Amino acid sequence: MKKLFHTLRKHRVAYLFLLPTLLGMLVLQILPLAQGLYLGFLRSRKDKLLDYLAAPWAGLENYRNVLLNPDSPIRSGLWDALRNTIQYTIAVTIGTLIVGLLAALLVNREFRGRSVARTLMLFPWIVPTYVVGLLWGFMWQKEVGFVNIVLVDWLHLLNFKPTWLIGPNTIWAIIIPTVWRQWPFSMLMLLAGLQNIPRDVYEAAHIDGASPWQSFRHITWPLLRPVWAILLLHGLIFNVYSFNIVIMMFGNGAGFPGKNGDLLMTNIFRNSFQMWDFGSGAAMSSLLMLGMVTVIFVWYRAFKDSLSAR
């Protein structure tokens, strides 16, 4: 006890500086997190809102419903949402990296209007995500949407106007806008990484007769590894927890995005706040968090070396 006081006294400035943050985190992050985990084991109903923590103990019932009970309405939608989320996250993360890398390589040269080009490239990244959902929801419309106007009326690439927001095309209707919104961020980071690579490395490779592809393959890509590792992590977290774009694109937010457009976050949100099934919602959130912790752990094992090497 005395030792604790001593420590507190000795570092009082540091603790004082951190105190408000710690309090905020405790009350609004740790406490809710604990409650959320606990809620997953309760049979929570709408009429039990006032005493939500006194709801009857349900054991693993919610988890069983979510994972194993084939009759549970939550479950059928959940697998669709899970499949879509995985597909969406992988496609968006990789797509963002590829486009961002290409753009970064293009901008990392001397040419007129370079800074203008870089600034203009950042534009989509400033557009709020709910606007992205709204805007692309309008652009994907079958008859009046800009995408179909360009594809069919202007370029004549197709001779019919495809439906984007219903059916299997839906997944692309959410992937493409997300890539559009996010690649400038990747570009920015990768560009900063590219500028950190010393020029003479390339010159040496050039003298040794390396082709542009070889110097990319053996110099640029490995040296950029710390940057794209971080971007990969950022993309994984950000896209698994993606919510705004999908919710704004389909049926004014309250609607169901459809079997091919539903993501985990929209699914859980619907279950929690529209069906008021907090127990299942919490159980699903806990499972989602568990899954993310696993993913992040795998990521950490894979990229530990390049992170510590920095």
Which parts of the chain are beta strand (E)? none
The residue range among 86-94, 111-119, 166-174, 214-222 that interacts with other proteins, by the rule CB under 8 A, is: 111-119
The residue range among 64-72, 76-84, 162-170, 271-279 that interacts with other proteins, by the rule CB under 8 A, is: 271-279
DSSP letter at 255?
A: S
Q: Is 42 helix (H, G, I), strand (E, B) or coil?
A: strand
Token pair recorded at residue 245: 């774009």
- Between residues 112 and 199, which has the closer beta carbon with respect to other proteins? 112
Residue 3 CB, shortest distance to other proteins, in Å, is: 10
The residue range among 49-57, 67-75, 89-97, 213-221 that interacts with other proteins, by the rule CB under 8 A, is: 49-57
Asked if residue 140 lies in contact with residue 173, where contact means CB atoms within 8 angstroms, the answer is yes
- List residues bridging with 57 in a β-sheet: 42
Show the site string, 187-206: x = touches other proteins by CB under 8 A, - = not. -xx-xxx--x----------
Give the distance, in angstroms, between the CA of residue 86 and the centroid of all CA atoms in the same chain: 11
Asked if 32 is part of the footprint of other proteins (rule: CB under 8 A), the reply reads yes
DSSP letter at 263?
A: -
- List residues bridging with 42 in a β-sheet: 57
Asked if residue 110 lies in contact with residue 200, where contact means CB atoms within 8 angstroms, the answer is no
Asked if 130 is part of the footprint of other proteins (rule: CB under 8 A), the reply reads yes
- Between residues 126 and 157, which has the closer beta carbon with respect to other proteins? 126
Asked if 14 is part of the footprint of other proteins (rule: CB under 8 A), the reply reads yes
Asked if 213 is part of the footprint of other proteins (rule: CB under 8 A), the reply reads no
Asked if 98 is part of the footprint of other proteins (rule: CB under 8 A), the reply reads no
Nearest CA to 81 out of 266, 245, 255, 239 is that of 266
Residue 251 CB, shortest distance to other proteins, in Å, is: 8
